[in-house]
Amino acid sequence: MTQRLPFDEKTARDLISLTGAEPRMLVQILRVFVENFGFVNDDMIRLLASELNLSRAEVHGVVSFYHDFRTSPPGQHVVKICQAEACQAMGSRALTDHAKQSLGIDMHATTEDGAVTLEPVYCLGNCACSPAVMINDNVYGKVDANTFDTLISKHAGQTS
């Protein structure tokens, strides 16, 4: 499970100054925000615009460009299944279908209990052990339907 902080301006300001309060650090600050708060919201965008002397539109443009900078809170566990060619060659399409079915959600969605968010990823660099799955920051190789279910219950304490 990933520990996330509730957003407050003081913490956010500290994170900005720790990372570097310069426009060139915007991508890095957004990363730190996502890692600490779980996502980027309008309050953070407003704060970043004023702290870095950028327009809100400029900050928003950067946020919306990158896949990692989600704008709504994810589930407790983020499960990413590689969708790229090496994993396709080893059955990632079938694994993805299984994951959707067993979790009862589509890609980019979160289970109703808030436990798991399912996301596509294009290469984890684990292409000699395909198909690969990342749960939070942990990478797993040669994952089939059974090991997927085991991993989900190990991390999220549930099988479906």
124 binds another protein (CB under 8 A): yes
Phi, then psi, of 28 in degrees rounded to 5: -70, -40
Closer residue to another protein (CB): 56 or 66: 66
Closer residue to another protein (CB): 104 or 108: 108
Interacting positions 49-88 with another protein (CB under 8 A)? 61-62, 65-69, 82, 84-88
In sequence order, the 6+-apart residues with CB closer than 8 A to the CB of 154 are none
Contact 153, 95 (CB under 8 A): no
**In the complex, what is the shortest distance from the CB of residue 38 to another protein, in angstroms, rounded to a whole number?**
15
CA distance 54 to 63: 13
**In the complex, what is the shortest distance from the CB of residue 7 to another protein, in angstroms, rounded to a whole number?**
19
132 binds another protein (CB under 8 A): yes
**In the complex, what is the shortest distance from the CB of residue 140 to another protein, in angstroms, rounded to a whole number?**
5
Closer residue to another protein (CB): 153 or 160: 153
Write the binding mask 19 to 38 for another protein: x where contact by CB under 8 A, - elsewhere.
Answer: ---xxxxxxx-xx-------
Residue 102: name the closest of 52, 65, 147, 40 by CA.
147
Buried b (16+ CB within 10 A) or exposed e, 77-97: bbbbbbbbebbeebbbeebbe
Contact 112, 150 (CB under 8 A): no
43 binds another protein (CB under 8 A): no
CA distance 44 to 37: 10
CA distance 92 to 106: 15
Interacting positions 89-118 with another protein (CB under 8 A)? 89-90
Residues in contact with another protein by the rule CB under 8 A: 22-28, 30-31, 61-62, 65-69, 82, 84-90, 121-130, 132, 134, 137, 139-142
